[in-house]
Amino acid sequence: MSEKSGGEAKGEPKAIPLKWALRGVAVLGVAGIVYIIAQASINPQRETNLKSLATGEMAKFVTPVEAAPAPVNSFQDPTGAPKRIADFRGKVTVVNLWATWCGPCVIEMPTLAKLAAEYQGKPVEIVAISVDRPDDADKARAFIAKHAPLAFYHDPKMALPFAFKPTASGMPTTIIYGADGVERGRLAGGADWGGKDAKALIDKVLAES
């Protein structure tokens, strides 16, 4: 056994005093807090509160309790080919469920056409989906043709309204999705989608995307 020289053995590592160890932990803790604050400033949480815009014509607009993606059910595009709401991902998508037998749907359609014209050339898509029976498809198509630039989309099985969570219990129902494909909110019943209240709402969702 080697003898200690000067109170310490040769080659034996020196012990770190407890006070220095505690100071090191404290420094690391402060550094961690600074890092978290820095990250928060670089990646701030996105403001998603749209409730303040539920006024005027958009007073019945409600935000979801739990954000959910669009249903996977398909419907028909203007050519009759299958289409899904997810196909519009990358754009703010305004889905309107309507039918020719629905009075409020017919009344609000010109305002949806105005909204579509307002956002042409921007990453916003207005998708008006008819839930008319197959026998009434031609009637619905002719009606939409009078409201350009809207295109004719058709859900002949009327399955889509029941695929939403919660279900779209009445007509018309308009559901807004962000560019990420997640629902931002919906409005049940007719509304003026061509006015300033609707534009403020769409602009807010567009700014968040």
Sign of CA dihedral 65, 57, 148, 92: negative
Indicate whether 108 belongs to any domain: yes
State whether 142 and 196 are in the same domain.
yes
> What is residue 66's predicted lDDT score, i.e. its pLDDT?
85
One DSSP character per residue, 66-116 reads: S--BPP---EE-TTS-EE-GGGGTTSEEEEEEE-TT-HHHHHHHHHHHHHH
Q: What are the per-10-residue average pLDDT scores of the chain (209 residues)?
A: 44 45 42 38 48 94 90 97 98 98 98 98 98 97 98 97 92 97 96 97 93
- State how many domains the chain has: 2
State whether 168 and 137 are in the same domain.
yes
For the CA atoms of 193, 172, 149, 180, the dihedral, rounded to the nearest 10 degrees, stands at 80
> What is residue 5's predicted lDDT score, i.e. its pLDDT?
43
State whether 41 and 58 are in the same domain.
no
The range of the structural domain enclosing residue 91 comes to: 51-208
State whether 57 and 159 are in the same domain.
yes
Indicate whether 168 belongs to any domain: yes
> What is residue 75's predicted lDDT score, i.e. its pLDDT?
98
pTM (global) more than 0.75: yes
Which of 6, 29, 45 marks a domain boundary? 45
> What is residue 43's predicted lDDT score, i.e. its pLDDT?
34
> What is residue 48's predicted lDDT score, i.e. its pLDDT?
54
> What is residue 98's predicted lDDT score, i.e. its pLDDT?
98
Indicate whether 2 belongs to any domain: no
- Residue 77's CATH number: 3.40.30.10
